[in-house]
Amino acid sequence: MRSKKENAKGKTCVAYFNTQYITGKECEKNLASVKEHLVEVYKLHKDKKYFLAPFFYGGHWVLFIVSPSDRKGWILDSVSIRAEKNKNHYPLTKAIETTFGSQFTWKMAKCMQQDGSWECGYLVIRSMFNFVLEKQYDFPKKIWNDT
């Protein structure tokens, strides 16, 4: 199930931030440590265009797709439509902006919305899987439309 571009290049353009270092609680209580992790991962993977950040805050999982080089970020939240959320609902946006520059453009990506109260973790994993296997090469032209 590899894309044509991945087969041709044989290389992904994605890296990952460690979920344990970027939780909402860490962002609120230990911002310096979160920023240090973001910088370390970015320096280690400068050749990558996108960084996936599965983010846990207030008992809920959200996926951030971050492109530090383009100063852009996408937030995939499976309750964003129902809850009318924006970037200010997530302490990770502040950590990213103060680490890579405040001129970030954030987009609340249209993504699958959960019906119940438990599906958020599954939907984050599913979105990561879809992004890595097919969407990364045509992103953001190829974005989620499965709301």
What is residue 131's predicted lDDT score, i.e. its pLDDT? 92
52-86 pLDDT, tens digit per residue, is 999 999 999 999 999 999 999 999 999 977 778 89
What is residue 117's predicted lDDT score, i.e. its pLDDT? 86
What is residue 89's predicted lDDT score, i.e. its pLDDT? 93
In the chain, the domains with their CATH numbers are: 4-135 (3.40.395.10)
Minimal CA–CA distance to 66: which of 78, 50, 80?
50
What is residue 146's predicted lDDT score, i.e. its pLDDT? 47
Residues of the chain with pLDDT under 50: 1-4, 6-8, 146-147
> What six digits make up the tokens of 108?
């609340």
What kind and span of H or E run contains 16? Answer: strand 14-16
Report how far residue 74's alpha carbon sits from residue 134's, in angstroms, rounded to the nearest whole number.
17
Sign, CA dihedral 29-43-67-130, equals negative
| List of E strands, 34-137 | 50-57, 60-67, 72-76, 105-108
* C-beta separation of 107 from 77 below 8 A: no
Strands 105-108 and 72-76: parallel
